């Protein structure tokens, strides 16, 4: 049992080190209007099957769901220093990807929230 737990934990750690690259994410960052470039991309990665399961079954109580779409979810969390962390979870048939964006303050997030979400929607929605 302990070996299995250690193996699962090791696999989760290894998968969290992968570099996430998505045409939708790149398109979003390239086409985002200058007006919403007030955020920074902190990280992107592909979630393991176990992480995806845990996230779906036991959502974090420190995050607030901002937008839910069949192709992606947007979660918000205010950090202790006042910055706002936005997590975008996107899924296709094979993988679940997570990107973490950061805004300098709640006020800046509120100013650019609509533009950010509109551009995200244009970039990540699956047109199949």
pLDDT at 27: 61
pLDDT at 124: 75
pTM over the 0.75 mark: no
- Count of domains in the chain? 1
SS3 content of the chain, % helix, strand, coil (to 5): 40, 30, 30
| Residue among 34, 121, 106 nearest 70 (CA) | 121
| Residue among 87, 45, 38, 88 nearest 62 (CA) | 87
- The answer to whether the beta carbons of residues 72 and 88 sit under 8 Å apart is yes
Q: How far apart are CA 91 and CA 60, in angstroms?
A: 18
pLDDT at 21: 53
pLDDT at 85: 96
Query: pLDDT tens digit string along 61-116?
Result: 899 999 998 889 999 999 999 999 999 999 888 899 999 999 999 999 999 999 99
Query: pLDDT tens digit string along 8-55?
Result: 443 343 344 344 456 665 665 665 554 445 789 999 999 999 998 998
| Domain ranges, residue 37 | 2-124
């Amino acid at each position: 049992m302990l070996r299995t737990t250690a193996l699962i934990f090791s696999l989760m750690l290894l998968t969290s080190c992968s570099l996430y690259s998505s045409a939708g994410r790149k398109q979003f960052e390239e086409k985002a209007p200058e007006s919403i470039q007030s955020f920074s991309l902190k990280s992107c990665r592909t979630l393991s099957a176990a992480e995806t399961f845990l996230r779906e079954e036991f959502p974090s109580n420190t995050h607030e769901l901002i937008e839910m779409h069949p192709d992606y979810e947007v979660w918000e969390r205010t950090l202790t220093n006042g910055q706002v962390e936005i997590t975008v979870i996107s899924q296709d048939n094979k993988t679940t990807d997570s990107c973490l964006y950061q805004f300098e303050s709640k006020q800046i997030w509120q100013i650019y929230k609509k533009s950010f979400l509109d551009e995200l929607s244009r970039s990540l929605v699956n047109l199949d």
